[in-house]
Amino acid sequence: TFGMLKPDVVNKMGEILKIITAHDLHIANIKMTRLSEADVEKIYKDNDNL
């Protein structure tokens, strides 16, 4: 499963990670990156329901 958080919640990362782990979910890899406009367009194009 892949999860992506939008920039407006970066200041709540600690709280979000606690909630995820409290629900017995395991984070195998975590990466913070800045997506280009082209990357964002591709993600939303490929996932019209987002």
Q: Please give the pLDDT value at position 48.
A: 67
Query: How would DSSP label each residue in 11-48?
Result: GGHHHHHHHHHHTT---S--------HHHHHHHHHH-T
Condensed to tens digits (0 to 9), the pLDDT of residues 1-50 reads 888 888 899 999 999 999 999 999 999 999 999 999 999 888 888 766 65
Which pTM does this prediction carry? 0.64
